[in-house]
């Protein structure tokens, strides 16, 4: 496999590409000491830091720290810029990057490896992350092979990030799924692909109107970081993908490709799916980490029923979007404890719970991965609503309604055990650490209820028709088989049990 440094070798400095002189060929003493390449003019930042600079503009050092757009050649003034906002040296560098050469590679992944990753995406990740379609993948692959249009580098990064996500989330990290093609383990190879995509993602020029490929690329990078438990980096790219989606002018993009109806239809399908996928991911992340949201459900957003017209197999994805649709900005203001938030009534919270409950209908044609994600997510959202009721003082000792009782999490944990114990573990493992975190939240709520939090002497002992410890044992065992469970969350749950219920032995 060609390393990322081999990409675009035509952009190497003239000093490094200079042909050896005849004197060097005849054994001249000068040939034993290569002349050091001199950079005639360092940028202002490197000169101020007294660091080595490069001839490329923006220079490599500024690009590495994300300050490429601030790379200045002379103190206090930038080079003359063009109408597009790029300096002549930047345009020259971009032209070298986009120019086909015998050493340039269309993607940063071997062709056969890319084919395997694309197949694995559609067979394992597509049921819950249905962004891409086969025609769209074929189109951006053709852009990379022909190195045409101004977005082919973005397409190459997109395919690299897609391969990284498949390797990290579908394959087992300690195994070798690409034997004969890659000498590294799946975990090491996936991280290498992610680093490669990030390297060229930072080198892409900033545009006032981002492309659809850039939005998808940014979201895939978020998904990779989330799989690796890099929570801060994941949130950064998730928020950036949501912002880029708002800046993306879908109508302008459709006008640019109106001469090709088929290409317009493909982009339109991908855009509709992408909006709801980012919305679901952003709201799920906001609940887990108590953060604000960016995307709103307005009358102008693509409808969920329109998505099903293109592919009837997305019915599970539609139900997943319906779970998060009733959670608006006022809900997150309440969840995050904003000073100006409106405290809802019991009826308003009951309305949200009813919408979450009715989002899942008896559907027979669901993939196992969809069943696992839908069942866990629905019960997890009910736990979140129960925690809000607990904070607002809406819970009571009565068992009716069940959602307002102190023992409600025990009922939900039992429902989770009964609804997921027949599903294969791979159908849950493919969702990554996000599903593990939801199970952890549910298990902690069960522990809190068993410890009678809030504690009151007048509370009678819980009278249940089942053993709640059985559900707790199931949750802990299930977490240990999922990504991040053994490394992080089972130990955290054990510590919580030890601090809260030291007398219980699981």
Instruction: Report which DSSP code applies to 325.
Output: T
Q: Write a three-state SS string for 229-264.
A: CCHHHHHHHHHHHHHHHHHCCHHHHHHHCCCCHHHH
Give the residue-averaged pLDDT of 87-108. Answer: 39
Q: Which residues of 98-121 are buried (b: 16+ CB within 10 A; e: fewer)?
A: beeeeebbbbbbbeebbebbbebb
This prediction has a pTM of 0.75
Q: In the prediction, which pLDDT does 261 show?
A: 65
Q: Which two tokens stand for residue 484?
A: 């991040």
Render pLDDT for 245-257 as a digit per residue (tens, 0 to 9): 999 876 655 555 5
Does residue 479 have a pLDDT over 90? yes
pLDDT band at 66 (very low <50, low <70, confident <90, very high): low
Q: In the prediction, which pLDDT does 465 show?
A: 62
- Comparing CA positions, the residue from 282, 248, 283, 239 lying closest to residue 267 is 248
Selected residue with higher pLDDT from 64 and 327: 327
Q: In the prediction, which pLDDT does 75 show?
A: 42
pLDDT band at 478 (very low <50, low <70, confident <90, very high): very high
Return left, alpha or beta for 473; rule: phi > 0 is left, psi -120 to 50 is alpha, else beta: alpha
Distance CA 138, CA 126 (A): 16
Which of 35-49, 442-456, 476-490 tops mean pLDDT? 476-490
CA angle 111, 115, 117 (to 5 degrees): 115
Is residue 168 a contact partner of residue 176, using CB atoms and an 8 Å limit?
Answer: no
Q: Cα separations (Å) of 44 from 38, 297, 446?
A: 16, 46, 59
Give the residue-averaged pLDDT of 304-328. Answer: 83
Q: In the prediction, which pLDDT does 341 show?
A: 84
- Comparing CA positions, the residue from 426, 439, 419, 422 lying closest to residue 485 is 439
Distance CA 306, CA 273 (A): 10
pLDDT band at 312 (very low <50, low <70, confident <90, very high): confident
Selected residue with higher pLDDT from 502 and 323: 323
Is residue 478 a contact partner of residue 452, using CB atoms and an 8 Å limit?
Answer: no
Distance CA 90, CA 56 (A): 8
Does residue 24 have a pLDDT over 90? no
Q: In the prediction, which pLDDT does 188 show?
A: 92
Is residue 240 a contact partner of residue 182, using CB atoms and an 8 Å limit?
Answer: no
Query: Which residue's entry shows tokens 């995406």?
Result: 121
Report the mean per-residue pLDDT for the chain. Answer: 79
Q: In the prediction, which pLDDT does 13 show?
A: 34
């Amino acid at each position: 496999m060609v390393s990322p440094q081999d990409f675009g070798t035509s952009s190497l400095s003239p000093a490094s590409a200079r042909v050896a002189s005849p004197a060097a060929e005849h054994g001249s003493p000068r040939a034993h000491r290569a002349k050091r390449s001199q950079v005639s003019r360092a940028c202002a930042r490197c000169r101020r830091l007294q660091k080595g600079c490069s001839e490329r503009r923006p220079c490599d050092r500024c690009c590495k720290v994300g300050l490429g757009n601030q790379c200045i050649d002379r103190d206090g003034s930038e080079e003359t810029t063009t109408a597009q906002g790029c300096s002549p040296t930047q345009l020259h560098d971009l032209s070298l990057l986009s120019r086909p050469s015998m050493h340039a590679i269309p993607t940063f992944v071997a062709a056969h490896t890319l084919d395997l990753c694309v197949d694995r995406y559609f067979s394992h990740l597509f049921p819950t992350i249905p962004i891409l379609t086969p025609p769209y993948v074929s189109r951006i692959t053709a852009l990379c092979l022909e190195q045409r249009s101004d977005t082919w580098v973005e397409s190459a990064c997109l395919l690299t990030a897609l391969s990284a996500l498949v390797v990290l989330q579908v394959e087992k990290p300690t195994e070798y799924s690409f034997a004969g093609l890659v000498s590294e383990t799946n975990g090491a190879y996936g991280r290498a692909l992610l680093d490669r995509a990030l390297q060229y993602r930072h080198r892409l020029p900033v545009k006032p109107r981002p492309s659809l490929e850039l939005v998808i690329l940014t979201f895939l990078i978020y998904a990779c970081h989330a799989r690796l438990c890099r929570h801060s980096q994941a949130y950064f790219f998730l928020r950036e993908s949501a912002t880029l989606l708002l800046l993306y002018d879908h109508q302008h993009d459709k006008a640019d490709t109106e001469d090709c109806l088929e290409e317009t239809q493909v982009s339109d399908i991908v855009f509709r799916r992408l909006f709801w996928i980012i919305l679901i991911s952003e709201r799920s992340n906001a609940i887990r980490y108590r953060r604000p949201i960016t995307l709103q459900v307005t009358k102008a957003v693509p409808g969920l029923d329109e998505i099903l017209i293109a592919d009837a197999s997305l019915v599970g994805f539609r139900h997943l979007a319906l779970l998060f649709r009733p959670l608006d900005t006022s809900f997150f203001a309440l969840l995050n404890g904003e000073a100006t938030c409106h405290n809802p009534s019991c009826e308003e919270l009951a309305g949200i719970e009813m919408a979450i409950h009715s989002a899942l209908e008896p559907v027979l044609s669901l993939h196992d991965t969809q069943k696992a994600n839908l069942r866990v997510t629905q019960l997890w959202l009910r736990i979140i609503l129960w925690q809000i009721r607990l904070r607002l003082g809406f819970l009571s000792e009565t068992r009716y309604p069940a959602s307002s009782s102190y023992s409600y999490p025990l009922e939900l944990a039992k429902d989770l055990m009964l609804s997921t114990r027949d599903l294969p573990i791979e159908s849950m493992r493919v969702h990554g650490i996000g599903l593990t975190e939801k199970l952890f939240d549910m298990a902690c709520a069960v522990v809190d209820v068993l410890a009678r939090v809030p504690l009151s002497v007048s509370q009678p002992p819980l009278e249940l028709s089942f053993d709640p410890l059985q559900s707790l044992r199931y949750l802990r065992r299930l977490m240990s088989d999922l990504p991040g469970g053994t490394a992080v969350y089972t130990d955290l749950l054990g510590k919580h049990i030890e601090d809260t219920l030291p007398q219980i032995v699981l």
